[in-house]
């Protein structure tokens, strides 16, 4: 797993996090009003903070939650420490979320649990590194890089894609990124 802090280290420490991803900001308006959001692999909490400020109850899950200490006890924010890669059961049981946000994190065995945790009508906002990123540095290991069209394949037959992109970006730093925004509408004929 590669975290935001490893990609974009902040000399100012955890209390000053990066701004929310432009992709997350772009699609946050589509999250059902007041719906609970899961920030998976939350890191320093830039997305849980942003979405909470927008009025969404939020759950932040990460192996190391020390960067979220200032949010402990904050109204509408739940912080869960969980190693998502150690083979333990999914830490959120059968809870369903109005939106699930995943950025700069890839652990493919979680894909089924992520889809199962997305409520009907819920929105998946996923953005992480893709093959080709190795020319820009970390991550360079194929285990942490999406294959071409991999998020589209994840969505096929399960989600209605609102937007999908794959390619080089310049901000917040040069990288090859793949991202998707898609609704869980299993009964939708489209």
- The dihedral formed by the CA atoms of 111, 121, 59 and 16, expressed in degrees to the nearest 10: 90
Provide the pLDDT for residue 2: 43
The vertex-61 CA angle with 116 and 95, nearest 5°, equals 35
pLDDT band at 1 (very low <50, low <70, confident <90, very high): very low
Provide the pLDDT for residue 166: 97
C-alpha span between 79 and 86 (Å, rounded): 19
Q: What is the value of pTM for the model shown?
A: 0.89
C-alpha span between 52 and 150 (Å, rounded): 29
Percent of the chain at pLDDT > 90 equals 83
Parse the chain into domains and list their residue ranges.
4-183
CATH placement of domain 4-183: 3.40.50.150
Provide the pLDDT for residue 171: 86
């Amino acid at each position: 797993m590669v975290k935001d802090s490893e990609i974009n280290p902040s000399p100012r420490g955890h209390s000053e996090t990066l701004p929310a991803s432009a992709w997350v900001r772009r699609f946050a308006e589509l999250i059902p009003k007041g719906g609970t959001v899961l920030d998976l692999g939350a890191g320093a909490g830039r997305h849980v903070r942003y979405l909470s400020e927008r009025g969404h109850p939020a759950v932040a899950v990460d192996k190391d939650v020390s960067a979220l200490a200032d949010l402990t006890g904050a109204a509408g924010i739940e912080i869960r420490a969980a190693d998502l890669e150690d083979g333990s059961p999914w830490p959120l049981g059968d809870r369903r979320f109005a939106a699930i946000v995943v950025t700069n994190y890839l652990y493919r065995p979680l894909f089924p649990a992520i889809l199962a945790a997305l409520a009907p009508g819920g929105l998946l906002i996923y953005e992480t590194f893709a093959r080709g990123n190795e020319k820009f540095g970390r991550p360079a290991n194929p285990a942490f890089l999406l294959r071409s069209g991999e998020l589209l394949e994840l969505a096929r037959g399960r989600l209605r894609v609102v937007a999908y992109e794959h390619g080089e970006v310049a901000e917040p730093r040069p990288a090859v990124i793949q991202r998707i925004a898609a609704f869980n509408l299993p009964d939708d004929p489209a």
